[in-house]
Structures are given as structure tokens and as C-alpha cells.
Structure 1
Amino acid sequence: MPAATPRRRWLRWTLIALAVLVLLPAAGLAVLLLTFDPNNQKPRIQAAVEAATGRSLALGDIGVKLALAPTLTVEDVALANAPGGSRPQMATIRRVEVELALLPLLSRRVEVRRLVLRSPDILLETDAAGRPNWAFAPPGRPAAPAPQAAPASAAREADPRLGIAVDRVELTDGQVAWRDGRTGATRGLAIPRLESRADTAGALRLNGQLALNGIPVALSGETGPLDRLTDPAAATPWPLRLALEAAGARLAAEGAIARPMQMRGWQMAVEARVPELQKLAPLLPDAPLPPLRDLALTAKLDEASVSDLRLTLGAAVLDAVLPGLRLASLTATLPRQDQPLALEVEAALNDVPLRLAGTLGAPGLLLPGAAPQPFPVDLGLAVAGATGTAKGAIADLRRLAGVDLALSFRAPDLAPLAPLAGAPLPPVRDLALDMRLAERTPGFAGGAFLRGLRIASSAGDAAGDLTYVIGQRQGVDGALTSTRLDLDALRPPPAAPAAAAPAAPPPPADRRAIPDVKLPLEALRIIDGDLRWQIGSLVAQGVTLRQVQARLSVQNGRARLDPFAAQMPGGPVTLRAAADLTTTPPTVQVAAQSPGLDLAPLLAALGQVPPQATGQLGLDADLRGQGADLRTVAGTAHGHLGLSVVRGTLTGSLLEKLPTDLRRLLPGGVSGRDIPLRCLALRFQAEDGMAQSRALLVDTALGRLGGEGGANLKTEALAFRLLPDLRLGGIELRAPINIAGTMRAPRIGVSPEAAIAGGLGAFLSLQSTPDRSLQALAGALGGGGPALPDCEAQLAIARGGQPGAAPAALPTPTPAHPTPAPAQGLPAPAQELLRGLFGRGR
């Protein structure tokens, strides 16, 4: 027992020593906390913050709550904004609470058991020059650059001096606002609640509710320990798992960051599910979102690459992108960013199914700093029985330069594609189109080159090289050749008649014959181009033209079609046309020449079916005028128009279309019979809209009709005096005819004196020895008159002195083909005269 006494003493003194070592510092610290006034430290804290940031710091009351884990509170914290900011404070916090572990302070470790931020309000903004308000610097010195990572040895030396750990953070009623000083755009993030807790291993678990631009966002996640985040010497990556949910969408990311302070060495697996993309539009107000649905995305990301990407989309109505577009599905896959992107799309446009599939170049070629490499393209399109492909490469995709794509399109029948065009398409079959596409300037800003263009179809073919120019004016330059081109086959079928609408009041009657049609001249202000086309056979309005050569050039508001030359039925024709918008009003000119054309097919092409005249048509025209519509141009016309027809016929139905007053002068029995035409010669000279006849003669089997006169093309007033020289069954009748009125409503009349003179002439023509006194009376009354010129002389004037076919001799009447005779013996004027002479009443 005596030996035990020294042991008890040793244990007692040991306990006393431990008590002294523990209780005395604790008592001293307790005395310090009881006598310490933290408000006395405000000036030192404020000065230190201002020296470090260049901003003033306002602090309210600072309090200390004594406990085994003391709590420090600070009221009304406010940090000043940058000079010129939109409000005085950059950040304010209504209350800050910091609960500290006491004993770790003895080893220079700060362990925050609980950090509470009440109503923090932070403004992040830039000024008009783009300078951010979060760039801090002492007065008179620029903001210090971001500190470089310290060597691991230095970190190990510094770490024992001070360590910080946070177990729990609570944030309530927070606000974070962003303002762009250049544009004035603002965004706001509300933080009703945000909480983080550290588990026993130090990992932080996050949970909170946010609201971005009024859209609630749920946040959850887990990160590594906070002290590991600030430890550059740590050997293991800092883990991170986050999930965001908003408007039914979910975004999740899981991975790790090797050097979190520098955001280097990170890798993440990302997964997104978005039932309706447009519901996220308030979160991204500067990025218009298409109405996509059922979006699913998975990918692996790191700071240098993207891999295992898969994007799918479900059915969606995309009228906002293109009216009538319906997406059925879309799938895009990318094994690695340096491999091609595979694409497959199923959709419908105006209920026409279409499918797009193929590959595009590696997206890695688009990353900043990537060396320019060719971007391959291999896409195929299938739509309504038609197929198309685009194959080739783009040398520099960022600038869209070096484009070399082979484009092709095949369509067995264009009709099924009509819903895509929104209008009926021509009934063209077996369409094949091939060409190579290249940019004229980077990004196609200056247009495109279409090289090796080849088109073949049931309506014809074309081949050549074209350049589509974009600039101040747009247009096409190039040359094409065609073996055959059928313009009639390129006309779409007539659209179905629309439902009958309520009858609108009839427009006011237009008493003019020349239509008030606006000429398509304004396009010349925005178009430049030079197109040459050679066509072996051209069909238009049922007329076949051969060996067609045409050149259309437009430059700086001046257009010229010169030449247009072709072999038409009957002979060659040349046409020149020009328009000049640099004058006010615009100037228009048309010239055409042909020694002889087949008249019947031309009339059929103009809609006269069956043709009411035949023969060889000669054309010599050169007219110009000023104005933006046809009526104004006609009213200012200068030049000449010459028409000649030989070796033809006039149908009886054509005579029925003559005005009633003129038809009454014709004998009965003419209607319904073809009348041989020896010649027709017309030539008018126009000066400032006044057209005067230079040649006017029609020579038929019934006789001749000549005369002179003119027309005012401004008012359409007529003033003609015609002299018929008819031969009807051995009777000659010449009674001058006056034509007045307008083109739309001509007035035709025969004066009483002329009628009497014509009757006398007809009576005298029946006598074997005409009475000289009656002949003199007929001449005095206006009968007879100057002899009409012959065909040859009038044709020479109408043709402008150019050679042409000679008129054929009229057929000699035979019993089988007699010359039409008057139904009642003599024309009406002769009958009237004879009744008066012999005293017969009506």
C-alpha cells in the first residue's frame, strides 16, 4: 500500500497540470470575450477593406454571442459600387451570422459551424466602356491580375498557418442582378433559399430554390470539401455533382475538377431532358428558342473535347421556323469531336414527308484555336419521290470560304412537290439537275458560282456556268446552251377555282383601247447581269423557234436585249429591246425586223384559234417612248411600224368582226367564205404620240381598200378617210368612208354625196357606153377619186425599202369558185341611188 501513494500523487498532479493547461487559457479567453468590444474594430476592418479594394465598407452593429461555439453577428453590411455605377452600393447584406468552433482557433484553424446570410443584394454591372464593377483595386492603382498558382511547396508551408472549413451555409431572401452598361439590358436572380451542409467526410451537399427572370429553379448537388477547393497541393480531383430543374426541364452534370481554383483539368458527364424548349425562353431572353419538344441530350465534356454526344428531338410543330413544317424526329450522334457528326431527320412540309440523313465534319474544327481543315459534307434528301444530295467540303467553315459542293437533284415527277411550293407546278417529268457550288466571296456575301450546271427534263435541257452576284444590285452572269426548251411545258396547270366570293361592284369602265399596264421596270434598279443563251429549238405558245440566240444585259439601271434572233415558221426574225431608268421618265425602245413569217401560227400563239388570216407577214418596226406604263409610252411614241402580208386569205368570220357601219357596205353572201388576199400594206410614222399613215392598202378578191389618216395615241382619237374599190359581179363601187371617234368606239360613216356618187358609179359600170353627164355628176359628188396605188408600191413603203415576197396574182373566178355577188344585186348605196333615179319606193 505505501507504494500506491506516490502513484496517486503523480496522477493527481498530472490532472491538476492538465486542468491548468486547459482551464486557464479557456478562462483567459472567456475573460477576453467578456471584455472585448468588436465595434471598436470597425475602423480597422473598414480601412483594411478599402485599402484592398478601393471601395468603402459600411458596417452596422457587430455583436458576439458567448457559447462553446461563439457566434459573431454583423448588421447592415454595404460595400460601395464602382464610380459611376447605377446605384451607390455594389452589395448589401441585412445580417451576417458566423458561428465558430472555439478550440480549432488555438491551432490557427477557422472552422465555421454555421454561416448565415440574410437578404444579400448583389449588383454585377459594367459601365458604358465595358469595365466591370467587380474589378477591385486600391485608389490610384489598376486592378491586380489574377494570382498565379503557388508552387506546392509554398502551399504546404502556408497551410499550417491558416485553415478554413465551413460546415453549413444558409442564405435566404437573396438577390443577384446583372446589368450591361452598353445596352442597358438587365437580368435578375432571386435566391429565396440556398443551403449547404458538410457531411462527416467534409463533402458539401447543396440544396436550394432560385428564380431566374421569374422562373423557379431548383438546385441540388454535392461537392468536395471546401478546404480541398482552396488547397492547390491536393492530389485528388475535387468532385462535383449538380442538378437544375426548371419549367419541367432537368439538367444534370457529374464529374471532377483537378485544379478547381484555376478551373483546369475538369471533366463532366452531362445529361439534359427538356419536354418543351420554349418554356425556358424567359431564362434566355437574348436567344430565341424554337418550339422543340422532347429534347434529350447526353455527352461527356472536358476542357479540351466533347465525346459520346447524342441528341434526340421528338415531334414538334415548327410553323414559327417555316410555315407548314412538322418535325417527326431528329437524331444527332458524335463519338468524338474529331469525328464526323451523324445526322438523321424525319419531317414533313405541308404534309409532304421528307427525310434528311448524312454526316457533317467534326465539330472540333469549329473550336477556337483549331487549325483550319476541310469540313466534309455528305447529306442526302428524300422528298415525295425526289432525291437530292450535297457532297464535298468547305475549306474554312468559320469564314464559309473554300466551298466546293457537288449538288444533285432527281425528280421523276414535279407534281407531288407542289405542296412544298404552295402552288401548282408544271407537269415536268424526269428532272435531273447537277452542279458544283462555290462562294463568290467568303460567307456567300458576294454571291455564288454555279459551275457545270446541267438540267435535263421532259420540258428541255440547259447547260453552262452561272454566277449569282450579290452587292448593291443582284443579278446573274453567264452563258447557257439548250438543245430543246419547251416553255409551254413549263407552264403550271391552272389553279382550282376559288370559292365564289360576294360580287364586287364593277370597276369603272375604261374607255381606252391601249391598256394601262405597268411595265416591269423597277426591277432594273436592283438588278445587274449579263446572260447569254443559245437554244436549238424553243417552243412558245405553240410556235417553234429554231437557232435562237439571245443576250440580256442589265447594268446600272440600263437593260438591253440585243440580239434576240431566231428562225420562225416562214423565215428569220430579229428583235431588239432596251429600257433606261436613268432618265425621267424611263425610256423604252423596241425594234423588230423580219422579211416574212407565217401569219397563221403567230395568230394562234396570240390566242386567235382558229386563225382568221393567213399569209406571209413582213415586219419592220422601231418604236420608242417614255413612261412607266404602256399607255404613257404609247402617248410619247416616236418611230415607225410597218406590216405587210402577201399570198394570204381572210376568213369570212373576220369580216363579221368589223364595225356594223362598215359591214353594211359589204355585199351579202360574203360572210362565212374565205377571201383571197393579194396584199396588205400598212406603215405608220409616229412623232410624240401622233401616228400618221404612210402606206394603207388591202387588196383582196373583192377589191381594194386604201386611204390615209392618223391616230392620236395620247387620246386614241381616229381620223381616217378610206376609199373602197370593190368589184362585185362586174359592178365597181367606190364610196369614200370616214372613220372618226376613238379606237375603242370608232364612228364610221359615208356622206350622202358620196353614197349618191357611189351609186352613179355602180349604175354607169353596168352600161356598155356610160353617160358622160352622169360620169361628171358622179365625179362632182365625190365618186371616183384618185386611183388607189398598186400593191408593189405600197409594199415597198411598208417594208421600209427592204426586199420581200411579191404578191401573188388573184385567182380567176370559175363556176366552182365564183366571186361573191351581192345578195340583192347591188350594194346598198347603189340600190338607194337606182331607186331614186327610177322613182321606186322602198
Structure 2
Amino acid sequence: MAQNGNARRILLGSVAALVVVAGAGGLAVRSMLDPDSLRTRVIAAIEKQTGRQARLGALEVHILPSPSLSVRDVGLSDMAGGAYADMLTADQLQASIGVMGLVHHELRLDGVRLTHPVLHLERTEAGEANWRLAPAGAQATARPDATTRQAASDWKVQVGSVRVSNADLDWDDRLSGSRGKVVLDHVNLAGVDGAQPQLDVAGHNDGGSFTLTGHTGAINLASTARSGWPVALKAAFVSGGQPVGQLAVDGTVADLDHMKGYNIKLDGNVASLKAVESLLPGRSLPDVRRLSFRANVVDGSAAGSAGSTPLLNSVHLDTGAVDAGAYLSGLTLQGLSIDAPGPKDTVSIRSQGQWQGQALKLSGTLGSLQQVDAAVMSHLADPLPLSLDLSGDPGSLRVAGTLGGGHAVVNIDAAASTLALPGGGVIDHLAASTHLVSEDNGAHFQLSDIMVKSTQVSLTGSLDLSMHGGTGGVPLASGALAASWLNVDALMGSATGTKADAKSVSAPPQPATSDDSLPFDRLRKMDADLRLSADQMEFEGDEYHNALTHVSLRGGRLVVDPLQAQGTGRSVSGQFVVDASGSVPTVSGTIGTLVLPAAWVESRAGLSSLVQGALQVVGTVHTQGSTRTELRNGMTGHMGVSMVNGTISGGALGEMLGDAARGTLGSGPIPLRCFGIHMSMANGQANVDTIGMQTSALTVTGHGTVGMVSQALDLRLVPQVMISGTGASVPLRVGGTLTAPRPKMDAGSDGRYAIGLLLGGASSNTVADPCPAALKAAREGQAGPPPAAAAPTAEGGRNADVNKLVEKARASPDVKKVGNLLKGLGILK
């Protein structure tokens, strides 16, 4: 019995002791979880661990069913110089508390739940990131006293897991040039304080949604120094309610802030890059479909250097359709493949597609992946071997050799059955080749053994480009090209002159530019010394031989001398100088004979299409100025312009002779037997001393003045219209402008109109042929081809006054035609 009593006393004593200890422990825990005291400790601990100011509202502590806390109005300040007052804010924070850690002055928070947090992320050009925290002494909100602040700062806050919902995240990464914002629907982080934190993130923006899962190495926001920090993440993207791609990232990173020291494997596929673009604000991605890729990317930058140098250790890329029109107009690819299994393996390229509706196929190789990396990073200062073959409907092109380095050598071969040129020109049965040599790291290029053979051209030669060989270090182009045969008409797409169809209508003129300035400054940006020759040449329907020109450009002074060729019935010769070396450019030229397409001249002058064919220009011209207006106002000299066997617009001619005459002449092109005009220029005006023209139905002679800038007309013309041996003439005075002429009948000094009528009858009366005199004056004595046919005649015609003209018109069997002619010329109403 005594033993039982002792046992009972021991048991009761133990229970009492446990009650005392438990009570004391409960009092201690309750003391440590005092809300005001705990809030002070948490703020001090956060500020010490982050080096930032922390803001916590009223804190509530819950003991049951397990210790936890909640706090409203949470904030963490931004880095010094940051764009926001607070880097992180949240409406509410809730978490469980690890009681045992309190004994060691450690506040462990598990199951942290943040309600509607807002997070602003920034990174400067130098790589300074606001998410990088710097432990320091508290940056302080006010404390009751220094003793309390010091005691509280000895505490430490540890986070075990985090759950976030409805978070706003925006970023401005000036180091990579990326910025944007997303809503994070949920963020679940487990093992935050462990060696392998787990991530589960889902978010969206206006363009679509994404998910991110995986794990990283230990998170330490206070240090950038890592040794092989592991990353294993998978992302998936949705746009328009449809999956558009996924990406897996696996590897290590040493410095995430500056993106240095990485070794990453990428594996992904994308249904459409343009669809992914909606998830990346501010990014412009090419239009690529069905993209799949695998790559190993490493940082090749030297330790301690600024920035990183991404290098590829392996790459495999396949695509579906690619719209490459932004890089080469009209180019689309059905697929593109790039492969290099390792850094020392050759890079192979394969593609097929269309260019301007013609099928193309590309295949070839570059150097090793290491060589490609080096060439790209050095901007081709390092050599890059290549062999590329392009073939398809247009033809074939082969480029083989070595690009870059101090001495690059490339052979180029091309062939095409038919190749369309800009402007409507064409090349048939083309075979071309050249040998390209680049020296001094691209400062000097040589194209030697140039050979081009086709139906339209056959030439050989060489060209040389020195990037700093000209005046003041500008580029210098020099060389010589010699053609045994050159069809300029076919290459330019023109078909004028004697071989043109009289029914054809020339292209409408280019609109005159509103900008009056001229690009004389371009002449100072490059020097040239080029010799061009052609044994035989076709131009504007005529054939020439022994064509030669020398183009010299030095210090802004362009000289074309000589310019010569031997043609049928005329010799082309002349020389031109455009001197832009001084403050006021000067333009001068002496033209023995120059042949120009009429449509080209009219379009540059902003005129409607009047004539079509080859214009022969002769004369001497000098002017100066920086604008078109100044050059026209300052023009002095003399000039003649002529044409034979071309066409003239009946509609434009009707405008010059009167609106009613258009009904007689028609609006389409009329065969032009000859046209000649001669003028002298001074004081902003052209004094036209000779005008002569003849078609099958019309002869015009005259003289007058034309304003060089205003294009104001004051012309005295005598048109003679012939139809079936019947004709009429009346002097006209044409005012207005070149683009809007205003013709009216011109009275003589006695006030009478010198009206003439030509009717069938005696064979002695003929219409005077204006061609010989007009061409002689317009050519200033130079040779030229003759008109194709004699002047039209009218039997029995004679001049008469209005009454006699009307009487004869009534008696004529062609009275109706004559009446129409007279009405067309404004004689009869």
C-alpha cells in the first residue's frame, strides 16, 4: 500500500509539473506572438534582410487552430532611383507561423498567401535590377526607441511556400529592351527556402495566356554570385483560345541579373510566331508558321566583361511557311531548315519557296557553328566559308568561297533562261560570272573577270571599290566595262523610234515632285572613275557602234567626257560637267548630238505625253543653283531639239491648237514625220526662233517665247490641216502655259486674219515642207536621219480672205470636211 501511495504522489507531481511548464510555455509563446511586438520584429527583420523599407498595417495573430498571422496593406520600397515608391504592394498577407523557430528568433512563414499583389520589376542598361536585394542595416520606419529597434533587428524571417492570386506584374527591362505587363492568375511556390524551389505559374494579358512550371536552384535575392545555378522550366502559350507554342529551358546560369555565364538547352515549337507576338508587347516577330527548334546556347563572353556573348553549341531548326516579303519584296518560303549537331560541325541550310510567283530552291553549307558564331560576333572580321546554290524558275545562282576576314574570296556564277528587270526590261539566255576579292577587312573590294552574256548584252570587265579611297575618305568606285553588244531598249523595256507601233501610247509622265531641291550633296559622298564602251548598241530604235564614255567624279565634281557613238545618219557626241564642290553648284554641257527617249524627257519635266520616239538634242548650256527653280532661272546658251519618224498625241496637239480642233485630229497617236525646235535661253526665258512640225494631216510652223520656270507661253503658230487634198490654215497666238495652253486666232498688223484655204485643183500649189528648215535649225548643222516621206500636197489650193474661203468651201465637193476643219480652227461658228 505504501508503494502505491508513493507512485500516486509521483504521478500527481509530474502532472503538476507539466501543467506548470505548459502554462509557462504558453505564456512565453503568447508573449512572443504579441501583435505589436511581432510587427516590430517582422519589419526590422525584413529591412535588415532586404535593405529596403517595409510597410505593414495592423497585424493580427491567431493561436488556434494553429498559430498564424494576417496583415493588411503590405509594401516593400523600390530600389534607389526606381520608378515607383514601392516595388511590391499587396492588399493582405496571411501565413502560418512555425512556433519552434520563435525560440531561435526566427519567424518562419509557411503557406504565405498574398491577395492582389502588385509587383513592378525594373532593370537598367547596366544590369542593376530592383529585385536584387542588398542586406544592410534597417532603412527605417520610425521605432519606439533604439533598444527595441536593435532587439527586433536580430530576428530573421524565413518563407517556406507562397500562394498568390490575382497579381499584377509589369516590367521594364532596359538591358534587353523588353517591357510589358501581365496578370498572374495564380503563383504557387513550394520549397522557397530549399535547394530546389518548385514553380507553378499561370497568367494572361490582352493577347493570350501562358503557364510556367518547373524548378530552379536555391533562391537568394541578396546575391548575384552563383556557381551553376540550375534552371528547369517549361512554358506553354495560348492565343485566341488555341495553343500556339511551348518552350522548355534546361541548364545553368551564373549571373541572372546580367545574363552571364549561362549554358542553356532550348527545346520548343510554335504554331505561329505572329500569334506569340501578341504575348510579347513591343516585339515585332517575323511571320513564321510551324516552327520547331532545339539549341544549346552558352555565354562566350570573357569573365569580367560587360554584357554577354550568346554562342550556339548546337542548333536544329525547321519551319513551315515563312513570309519574307519584309526582307525581299515578293519572297515567301514554304519551309526553312538549319542544322548543326555540334560546335565543330558544318551548318547546313535548306529552303524552298517563291519569289514574285517563281519557284526557288536553296541548299548549301556554311562553315562550322563555331565559325558562324565568330563571324557574326565580329561582323565578318573572322572568315566564314560558304557554298550556296539557288535554283528555280528564274534561273540559278551559285556562291562559293570565303567571306570575311582580312582576305575574302568568292566565286559567283549565275544563269537564267528569262529574267525580268525593273521597268519592264528583260534578259534572255543569261550566263554571268565574276570573281570577288575583299581585302583589308572589307575596306577594299575587287570584282574581276566579270562576264555577262545574253541575247540583250554581252560584256566583260572589272570593278574596284575602295571604301575610303576617294576625296576626304569617301568611297571610290573605278573600273571598265566593255560590251560587244548592248540592246538598251530591251534592257530598259522601251520600244520607241522607227520600230515602234504608231498605235502605241507612251506611259503617263511621272508627277513633278513638290520638293524643289536637288541631291547635289550625293556627289560629295562618293568618287568614281568608270569607262564604259560598246562595239554595237541599239538605243531608241537606232543602231550605234563604237560607243564610249568616261565618267569621272572627284570631290563633288562630275565630268562625263567623252560621250560619243556613231549612228545611222548621225554621230552622238558631247560632254557634261556638274560641279557641286563649291557652295553654289554649276551645270554645263556642250552637246554635239545627244539622243534621249522623249517619254523620259517629258516625265522629268512634268509634261503630258506629247511625242514618242528618239529626241535629238544639240547645243550649249550653262547654269547654276541648288534648286530646279534656280537652275532654270539661271540657264543661258542655245539648244535645239528634233525628232523624225515618231508619233505625236492628237489630243495634246488639239489642246495647243484649240479644243475644237481635237475633233478633227482625234485623241490618239498620229505618225510624226518631223519635229524641230530651236531656242536661246537667258533671263529665265527661252526665245524660240524656230518651230516646225509635220504629220500626215497637219503642218505647223512658228516662233515665240516660253518661261523657263513659269512655263508661260507666247507662241505664234501657223497650222495647216490637210484631209483628202483639202486643207485650211489660220495664224494662232497661244498663251497660257505648257500644261494649260490657251490658243486664239492671231490678227495681223492691219487687224485682218491671214486665213488660207487649200482646195483640189491646180497642181502648182503645194503645202511648203517645213522639215528641212526646222531640222537644220534644230540640229545646228549637225547630221541626223532624214524624214521618212515627202510633204503632203494639195492640188489647186490658194490663200483667200474669209469671204472667198467660204465661197470656195461651199463650191467644193469636200465642203463638209472643210467646214469641219474651219470649225476646228475656230474660223467658222
Is this a same-fold pair by TM over 0.5? Answer: yes
Query: For 1:115 and 1:518, how far apart are their aligned partners in 2?
Result: 72
Is 1:592 equivalent to 2:592 in the alignment?
Answer: yes
Residue by residue, what CA displacement relative to the aligned partner does 1:373-411 show, whole Å, maximum 9, x if unpaired?
Answer: 312232221131511122233335xxxx86544333211
Matched ranges for 1:342-741 at <5 A: 342-361=348-367, 362=369, 363-365=372-374, 373-395=382-404, 404-414=409-419, 417=420, 424-436=424-436, 438=438, 450-462=447-459, 463-467=461-465, 477-492=478-493, 525=520, 527-528=522-523, 530=528, 531-554=530-553, 559-569=558-568, 574-579=573-578, 587-592=587-592, 622=620, 638-639=637-638, 686=680, 688=682, 689-690=686-687, 711-714=703-706
Quick check: 564-573 or 31-40, which moved more? 564-573
AA of the residue aligned to 1:314: G
Secondary structure of the residue that 1:407 maps to in structure 2? strand
Secondary structure of the residue that 2:345 maps to in structure 1? coil
Change (3 A) 1:249 1:354: same
Query: For 1:745 and 1:585, how far apart are their aligned partners in 2?
Result: 41
Matched ranges for 1:152-171 at <5 A: 168-171=161-164
Is 1:75 equivalent to 2:67 in the alignment?
Answer: no
Partner in structure 1 of residue 235 of structure 2: 243
Change (3 A) 1:371 1:547: closer
AA of the residue aligned to 1:465: L
Query: For 2:102 and 2:495, how far apart are their aligned partners in 1?
Result: 93
Query: For 1:81 and 1:54, how far apart are their aligned partners in 2?
Result: 10
Matched ranges for 1:324-339 at <5 A: 324-339=330-345
Work out the number of aligned pairs and report it. Answer: 628
Secondary structure of the residue that 1:283 maps to in structure 2? coil
Report which of the two structures shows the higher radius of gyration computed on alpha carbons.
1
Secondary structure of the residue that 1:490 maps to in structure 2? helix
Is 1:211 equivalent to 2:204 in the alignment?
Answer: yes
Change (3 A) 1:585 1:312: closer
Query: For 2:124 and 2:176, how far apart are their aligned partners in 1?
Result: 10
Contact 1:166 1:226 in 2 (8 A): no
Residue by residue, what CA displacement relative to the aligned partner does 1:348-369 show, whole Å, maximum 9, x if unpaired?
Answer: 1232111122223424326879
> Higher RCO, 1 or 2 (CA under 8 Å, sep at least 6)?
2
Deviation at 1:584, TM superposition (A): 8.2
Change (3 A) 1:258 1:49: closer
> Aligned-pair RMSD on alpha carbons?
6.4
Question: What is the aligned counterpart of 2:283 among 266, 287, 292?
Answer: 287
Contact 2:115 2:164 in 1 (8 A): yes
Question: What stretches of structure 2 of length at least 5 have no aligned partner?
Answer: 140-153, 301-310, 497-507, 595-610, 643-675, 693-700, 707-712, 719-728, 735-742, 751-775, 784-792, 800-829
AA of the residue aligned to 1:240: A
Partner in structure 2 of residue 29 of structure 1: 25
Deviation at 1:175, TM superposition (A): 2.3
Partner in structure 1 of residue 185 of structure 2: 192
Residue by residue, what CA displacement relative to the aligned partner does 1:101-146 show, whole Å, maximum 9, x if unpaired?
Answer: 545777999875523223222223468999654566689999xxxx
Secondary structure of the residue that 2:116 maps to in structure 1? strand
Is 1:57 equivalent to 2:47 in the alignment?
Answer: no
Secondary structure of the residue that 1:97 maps to in structure 2? strand
Question: What stretches of structure 1 of length at least 5 have no aligned partner?
Answer: 143-160, 496-506, 508-514, 595-605, 610-617, 644-681, 697-708, 721-737, 752-795, 805-821, 830-842
AA of the residue aligned to 2:94: E
Contact 2:388 2:398 in 1 (8 A): yes
Contact 1:296 1:312 in 2 (8 A): yes
Change (3 A) 1:403 1:427: closer
Matched ranges for 1:276-315 at <5 A: 276-301=272-297, 306-315=312-321
AA of the residue aligned to 2:278: P
Quick check: 213-222 or 318-327, which moved more? 318-327
Secondary structure of the residue that 1:90 maps to in structure 2? strand
Residue by residue, what CA displacement relative to the aligned partner does 1:721-742 show, whole Å, maximum 9, x if unpaired?
Answer: xxxxxxxxxxxxxxxxx99867
Matched ranges for 1:100-179 at <5 A: 100-102=97-99, 113-125=110-122, 133-134=130-131, 168-179=161-172
Deviation at 1:575, TM superposition (A): 2.2
Change (3 A) 1:285 1:437: farther
Query: For 1:83 and 1:258, how far apart are their aligned partners in 2?
Result: 26
Change (3 A) 1:81 1:524: closer
Query: For 1:38 and 1:823, how far apart are their aligned partners in 2?
Result: 123
Deviation at 1:550, TM superposition (A): 0.7
Is 1:253 equivalent to 2:248 in the alignment?
Answer: yes
Residue by residue, what CA displacement relative to the aligned partner does 1:681-705 show, whole Å, maximum 9, x if unpaired?
Answer: x998957445779xx9xxxxxxxxx
- TM (normalized to structure 1)? 0.58
Secondary structure of the residue that 2:450 maps to in structure 1? strand
Query: For 1:88 and 1:370, how far apart are their aligned partners in 2?
Result: 43
Query: For 1:633 and 1:106, how far apart are their aligned partners in 2?
Result: 97
Change (3 A) 1:561 1:713: farther
Secondary structure of the residue that 1:428 maps to in structure 2? strand
Quick check: 542-551 or 182-191, which moved more? 182-191
Deviation at 1:554, TM superposition (A): 4.9
Query: For 2:97 and 2:395, how far apart are their aligned partners in 1?
Result: 75
Query: For 1:166 and 1:53, how far apart are their aligned partners in 2?
Result: 14
Query: For 2:484 and 2:407, how far apart are their aligned partners in 1?
Result: 33
AA of the residue aligned to 1:432: A
Change (3 A) 1:372 1:546: closer
Residue by residue, what CA displacement relative to the aligned partner does 1:300-358 show, whole Å, maximum 9, x if unpaired?
Answer: 44556644421111125555555543321111112123433221111112321111222
Partner in structure 1 of residue 768 of structure 2: none
Query: For 2:476 and 2:378, how far apart are their aligned partners in 1?
Result: 37
Contact 1:238 1:256 in 2 (8 A): yes
Contact 2:731 2:747 in 1 (8 A): yes
Partner in structure 2 of residue 648 of structure 1: none
AA of the residue aligned to 2:339: T
Is 1:271 equivalent to 2:264 in the alignment?
Answer: no
Query: For 1:591 and 1:369, how far apart are their aligned partners in 2?
Result: 51
Secondary structure of the residue that 1:373 maps to in structure 2? coil
AA of the residue aligned to 1:525: F
Deviation at 1:480, TM superposition (A): 1.8
- TM (normalized to structure 2)? 0.59
Query: For 2:560 and 2:256, how far apart are their aligned partners in 1?
Result: 72
Deviation at 1:465, TM superposition (A): 0.8
Query: For 1:823 and 1:253, how far apart are their aligned partners in 2?
Result: 93
Residue by residue, what CA displacement relative to the aligned partner does 1:261-319 show, whole Å, maximum 9, x if unpaired?
Answer: 99998755432121121122233223211221111112344556644421111125555
Contact 1:434 1:453 in 2 (8 A): yes
